[in-house]
Amino acid sequence: MIVEDHATLRATLRDWLENTVPGVSVLSAGSAEEALETVARVGADVVLMDIGLPGVNGIEGARLFRLRAPDTVVVMLSIIDDRAHVADALDAGAVAFVSKRTMRHDLLPALQAALKERLSRVDAHVERGGARP
């Protein structure tokens, strides 16, 4: 799922992912609130979330995902890539941070790492006796 308030960037990222990763299904939302509602209904493995969202920002959105959808992993995306924002994103529960300045090179490896993390969370959940999400 892509959570980005700029519709053009959201569509560009969705098209890129659908053309780069065969068989991927990409959901999108313009806000953290919309993303949380969608994930509650249909689920998502990985959420690519912008920090600078209207309403609930990406940092707080990552915290809410950690509470409400703990098996879903969040990758933070932002043009604001100073150490403080990176640390805040990771502290909030994001598994990776990708700068919009370098996403052309860094996004796919970050998403691959996020999918590995997602699989490890699912495996841990199943080992604890839960059903496969």
Q: What is the pTM of this model?
A: 0.87
Confidence at residue 5, expressed as pLDDT on a 0 to 100 scale: 97
132 found inside a domain: no
pLDDT at 112: 87
Let me know if residue 41 belongs to a domain.
yes
Instruction: Please report whether residue 113 resides in a domain.
Output: yes
pLDDT at residue number 124? 62
Mean pLDDT of 56-77: 95
User: Which residue, among 55, 48, 39, has the nearest Cα to 4 in the 3D structure?
Assistant: 48
Half-sphere exposure of 107 (CA within 13 A, CB side): 20
| Cα–Cα dist 100/16, whole Å | 14
Structure-token match 């068989």, residue found: 23
In a domain, 54, yes or no: yes
- CATH at 10: 3.40.50.2300
Domain that holds residue 39: 2-127
Higher pLDDT, 128 or 117: 117
How many structural domains does the chain have? 1
Q: Is residue 133 part of a domain?
A: no
Please report the pLDDT score of residue 32 as a whole number: 97
CA distances from 71 to 31, 33, 80, 93 (A): 20, 18, 26, 11
| pLDDT value, residue 114 | 87
- For residue 120, being part of any structural domain is answered with yes
Kindly state whether residue 108 falls inside one of the protein's structural domains: yes
pLDDT tens-digit series, residues 72-121: 999 999 999 899 999 999 999 999 999 999 998 999 999 888 888 877 76
87, part of any domain = yes
